[in-house]
Chains A and B, each alone.
Chain A
Amino acid sequence: EAGVAQSPRYKIIEKRQSVAFWCNPISGHATLYWYQQILGQGPKLLIQFQNNGVVDDSQLPKDRFSAERLKGVDSTLKIQPAKLEDSAVYLCASSPALPGTDTQYFGPGTRLTVL
């Protein structure tokens, strides 16, 4: 079974630029999550989708972050414009069941550096 795929693996941008990350979950997984992991901290949930609907985005900084999962499969997370404090690893995870009730399978992450 293929795992969660993410791209790119690394990205370096300057502040005020825009960036987008892509995630393809495990086939058949209805729930998809985006996390931000700052160095030395645990993952912080940004947004979770059930199919193509948003279950929770209470911790997503909506003035600069946006995410979509249009067809209920893959998803993109965008930052526009980026700030220095956005430097982090962005993790995508998926799970087969209802949000929060089952194991989450994580991708390798995208390491973002904002200069």
Chain B
Amino acid sequence: AQSVSQHNHHVILSEAASLELGCNYSYGGTVNLFWYVQYPGQHLQLLLKYFSGDPLVKGIKGFEAEFIKSKFSFNLRKPSVQWSDTAEYFCAVNADNDMRFGAGTRLTVKP
């Protein structure tokens, strides 16, 4: 069965710092890749997704992610974080209708 690994459990940054959250998966076939975010007190919502085409995808709120097939990675980036980016971030991978989420990374942005 496939698995999804998120390397950081908790990341603490100051405003304006750059962000990169790691995500690796174990599946050799075709995958659809997602980043979901859960802001405090809110539902899980989609940040961005990759199905095919340009491996650099842009999402909402200035986030982007790069799919590197050779590394089985789909890292999330943002050049300058804001206090409002404080949330939990989940990487998810779908292969053959098998949807798997990583354990999540809690991001705390200090004002």
A: which residues have CB within 8 A of B?
Answer: 3-4, 33, 35, 40-45, 48, 55-56, 58, 91, 93, 99-101, 103-109
Q: Contact between B97 and A42 (Cβ–Cβ < 8 Å)?
A: no
Q: Contact between A43 and B97 (Cβ–Cβ < 8 Å)?
A: no
A-B contact pairs, 30 of them (CB 8 A): A3-B43, A33-B99, A35-B101, A40-B103, A41-B103, A41-B104, A42-B92, A42-B102, A42-B103, A43-B101, A45-B98, A56-B97, A58-B98, A91-B44, A100-B94, A100-B95, A100-B96, A100-B97, A100-B98, A101-B32, A101-B51, A103-B34, A103-B46, A103-B49, A104-B46, A105-B45, A106-B36, A106-B44, A107-B43, A109-B43
B: which residues have CB within 8 A of A?
Answer: 4, 6, 32, 34, 36, 43-46, 49, 51, 90, 92, 94-104
Cα distance, A43 to B4, chains bound together (Å): 12
Cα distance, A98 to B45, chains bound together (Å): 19
Candidates B51, B94, B95, B101; contact of A42 at CB < 8 Å: B101
Interface centre among A40, A99, A104 (most CB of B within 10 A): A104
Q: Contact between A56 and B46 (Cβ–Cβ < 8 Å)?
A: no
